[in-house]
Each structure stands twice: as C-alpha cells, then as structure tokens.
Amino acid sequence: MRIYPIRTERLVLRYPEMRDAPVLVKLLGDPSVSRNIPRINYPYRRADALKWLRRVRKPRFNASFGRGYDFMIEVDGEVVGCCHLSWNLKERRAFFGYWVGRPYRGQGIATEAALGLVDFAFGKLGAERVWAMAFADNLASRRVLAKAGLKEEVLMRRNAFFRGQWRDDVGLGVLRSEWAQRLARSRRRQ
C-alpha cells in the first residue's frame, strides 16, 4: 500500500527529505515546540535534524506501536510542521502525533493534519482504533485532538518526567464506529 503523500484540502503530508534539515532547524529553534515533545532537543541544531531525517527515512518497527511513518506537513509547498503515524497491523490500531511551527499556528493546520491521519488510518489502513497522547497542560493540542474526533480516555498522573518536572499525560482515542458516524454526518451536510 502506498503511504506517501497524504493529501487534505490544504495540506500535503509527504515523505521527509534530507533537504528539509534547514526548515526543521528554523521551526524547532522555537522552544514552544520542544516544550511539549520530549523527543525534540532544545536547542535544536542541524546535527539533530540530519540525525532525525536519516532515522525516519529508514523502515522502523516497534513491537507495541508497529510500523512508524513520519511526514512533513506542507502548505502551498512550504514546510510548516511534521506529523507521525504508527500502524500496528496485528492490533489494527494507529497512534499519531504532530507539531506545527509557531508562525503557522491558529490556522487549523494541526487539526487538518490530525484529521488527515485519522481518515487515512481508518479509510486506507482499516484501523479499528486511532489514539494519541498529549501532556495534560497542553490544552491547545487537546483541543486539536478533540476537533479530530478523539475523546479523552485516561489521565495518567505524573506519567512523564520531563525537563526536571513531573507531567501528567492524557490519552485520547477514537473508534472506527465513531469515525464512521462523523463521516456520515459530514456527508449529510454537503
């Protein structure tokens, strides 16, 4: 099955290229991104971008999460962020995450990318469940995930020790049946 690219109304979620290193450094040079994503170093340097790009351009598999796919989020040919989808075929579940650079926030890009990944997971991969995590104090991300149809399922108190402090995580998910209902409502409105 072809994974790349995933297209939405305004976005192209495409395969990461080594030429993306400079824009990653620029966007991730803002601490507001790494503040909520433990795997992103701050300060973020060119060496970090090149290491990440080399890693995500190779097939990856994790026994719990499954096969991992990373995407550059483009609007009109300009990279504005990244997203990730892990697909566990055996369990028929997908996990995803995203970030959008500060200059591009507040335009619905994160929500559109999240919806694109959710629709792809259910519509193309045949997922039974799609889920995501957010720090409990990251209200903007929790709103994005709610707009993408995910429901808060669990609060994991003091689940992550990050930059010297304990943080709570929220687990959110959506089931195939809930996605199908949203899709049917959307079609009725058109």
pTM comes to 0.95
Domains along the sequence of the chain with CATH: 6-189 (3.40.630.30)
AA identity, residue 97? G
Q: What is the pLDDT of residues 16-62, one digit of tens each?
A: 999 999 999 999 999 999 999 998 999 999 999 999 999 999 989 98
Q: Which of 43, 50, 41 is nearest to 16 (CA)?
A: 50
Place of tokens 């020790």: 161
Q: What is the pLDDT of residues 90-121, one digit of tens each?
A: 999 999 999 999 999 999 999 999 999 999 99
Cα atoms found within 13 Å of the Cα of residue 167, Cβ hemisphere only: 18
Contact indicator for 66, 128 with CB cutoff of 8 Å = no
Q: Which of 95, 90, 92 is nearest to 126 (CA)?
A: 92
Whether pLDDT at 89 is above 90: yes
Cα end-to-end span (Å), the chain: 29
Percent of the chain with pLDDT over 90: 91
| Angle in degrees, CA 9, 127, 175, rounded to 5 | 85
